[in-house]
Amino acid sequence: MNTIVNTLALTAALVVPLSAGAQVSAQGTLNNFSYSLVDLLPNDGIAPSLSIVKPHYASYPGTRAGGDIIESGLRATRNSSEDRTSALYSRDLDASMSVPQGSVVSTISGGHFQSLALSAAASTTGSVGYNRSATASNFMFIEEFVLSPGTQITFFADASGSVATSLPRTNVLRENSTLKASMGFESAAPDWYPTTTTQFKLTAPTWSSDPNLPFSQSASERLSIMFENTKSTTQNLKLSISLWAEAESRDTTPSTSPVPEPATYGMLLAGLALVAGAARRKRVG
């Protein structure tokens, strides 16, 4: 299901100039998924395996791709896009969009685990008197995995991306960009279990970067999570995967409305006088 929602609320009909080249961005991918199995009970006669068993009822929302571009200030706008499915083996989604206030790329592809690929990118431009943000988000909930008894499993995925700002930081301008990728087990082990969740994160910091220069950073990391089924029965595994990118530009420079020329006031008063005189003559007649 794919939906796109555009909303617009005008609070002032003003033309506001864009800051030249003021683009802030975040982008990344999460792909190359794989897993490895280790037999913890080699003498039990059961070979380690990871099976796919379709659940009776798929959890909501299953797989979701979304985009959101918000502008506030002299004028408020919001553009949203969403694509989601609860199908287990057909997860190709696309919620990408582009508007004057920014653009987002939010896609998920792959018919099986090893071919899964998530992509997210967000960018926006600065504008005097405005706060603009663009967000791309991907989420996937896999619940059809069943792990054999006495088996250790490790899931892997490659995360990579970059964040960038384009203008020096000032007392009226702030640019922020963040990229996050995460993978974790749901309900298979306590939250404090050290190997059940992992995260890759890049942030363009406003507090540690040189205020006189824009900031850019790119990196990659091999993510992994591990779980051991030490029981003599199978273990249902629920796996959550997400990729999120956000870019924000906030410019609080005052933007004033044009002041009418003195002649404009004179013309306005003259017009009002003519209207009032016509009304009086009509009443007298």
Per-residue pLDDT of 178-193, as tens digits, reads 999 999 998 655 555 5
Mean pLDDT of the chain: 80
Residue 17: is its pLDDT beyond 50? Answer: no
Instruction: Quote the pLDDT of residue 36.
Output: 97
Backbone angles phi, psi at 258, to 5 degrees: -60, 135
What distance in Å separates the CA atoms of residue 147 and residue 50, rounded to the nearest whole number? 5
Percent of the chain with pLDDT over 90: 48
β-strand partners of 121: 27, 105
Please state, in angstroms and as integers, the Cα–Cα distance from residue 198 to each residue in 100, 138, 178, 182, 193, following that order.
Answer: 35, 16, 17, 6, 11
Model pLDDT, residue 76: 86
Q: Is 250 or 154 the better-scoring residue by pLDDT?
A: 154
Distance CA 199, CA 45 (A): 36
The DSSP bridge partners found for residue 108 are 93, 118
- State the average pLDDT over residues 80-109: 90
- 6 has a pLDDT exceeding 90: no
Q: From 106, 40, 94, select the one nearest 69 (Cα to Cα).
A: 106
pLDDT computed for residue 254 by the predictor? 75
DSSP letter at 56 equals S
Task: Report how far apart, in Å, the C-alpha atoms of 261 and of each of 15, 256, 266 are.
Answer: 19, 15, 9
Bigger pLDDT: 13 vs 172: 172
pTM over 0.85: no
Q: Which residue is listed with tokens 């864009």?
A: 18
> What's the chain's Rg over C-alpha atoms?
27
